Structure formats: structure tokens, C-alpha cells
Amino acid sequence: MASSNDLLIKQRSVIEFLAAEGCSAANIHAIMKTVYCEMCISDCAVLKRVRIFKGEDPRETFLRDRKRSGRPLSASVTAHREKVDCMIRANRRVKQKEIANAVGILKEQVNHIVTTVLGYRKVSARCVPRQFTVEMKARRKDMCT
């Protein structure tokens, strides 16, 4: 059995072919309904595709969706990262909700910055770096010697 994405691409190619032949959207949907039964796309989707395919050169149409850049992560802005890092360094027991209110971003974004971007984790209710930096290792070596 074909995956839903493959089935969608097949249906789009049928729509493109029949639209190039001059069939109306209602006729195309009726033909597809007999072949694909309950797996057929809706009549609104057929109408939308017919409008797209009739307005473009058939050699330049794309059956697959084009790549999108996606939603930008506003939480990863350098200014937000620096504010969050300064607040954590000033008070290791600060709560993510307090950071979110002070910086003006969502708590989930604060969590993303703290865990993924800055690499902190909670140890005994304090945020500590996951790995020691070169500076921290040198300081510990000096203290031990």
C-alpha cells in the first residue's frame, strides 16, 4: 500500500493531466472519487489544484511541496541568550518563569535557550553548565594545586 504522501502526489498528477485536457474541477473530482474512493482528496482541494495547474505552464508545475524555511526561532536571538545567561549566572536558583517575565519571552523559549543553546541542566535546583569550559577547568586545576 502506498503512503499518504505518494497517494497525494499521484492524485495531483491526475489533476494536472485532466486539467490540461480541459476537464472541469467537478468532473475531475467525480472521476477521482470512483478510482480512489474514500482516499480521494476533497473537491475544494481539487478546485485549488486545477486553478494552480491551469494558470501555469505544465512543464513548470511542481507536484511535490516546495521546501520552506520554517518559522524562525525568535528565542535564539543573541540578546535573549545573553540576558538569560546573565540572570542564571547572577542567581543559579532563578526560575524559568521569572526569566520569561523579565526577558519578555515564553517559558518554553526560555527552556530551549537554557537547555539546548546554553547547555545548562538542573542539579539540586540550580542551573549548572553541562560541561566545563576551558576557563573553569584551569580554575579548578589552580585551586587543586
**Structural domain spans, the chain:** 4-60, 75-131
Mean pLDDT in residue range 64-85: 72
Cα–Cα distance, 26 to 23 (Å, whole number)? 8
CATH number for the segment(s) 75-131: 1.10.10
Mean pLDDT in residue range 26-54: 88
More confident residue, 58 or 95: 95
Give the percent of the chain with pLDDT over 90. Answer: 14
Would you place residue 28 in the very low, low, confident or very high pLDDT band (cuts 50, 70, 90)? very high
pLDDT of amino acid 29: 92
Would you place residue 102 in the very low, low, confident or very high pLDDT band (cuts 50, 70, 90)? very high
pLDDT of amino acid 2: 63
- Residue bearing cell 499521484: 10
Helix (H, G, I), strand (E, B) or coil at 66: coil
Consecutive H or E run containing 82: helix 78-90
Mean pLDDT in residue range 80-92: 89
Q: Which residues neighbour 107 within 8 Å (Cβ) at sequence distance 6 or greater? A: 96, 97, 100
Beta partners for 126?
123
Cα–Cα distance, 60 to 54 (Å, whole number)? 12
Mean pLDDT in residue range 43-47: 88
Give the percent of the chain with pLDDT over 70. Answer: 79
Please tell me the pTM assigned to this model: 0.41
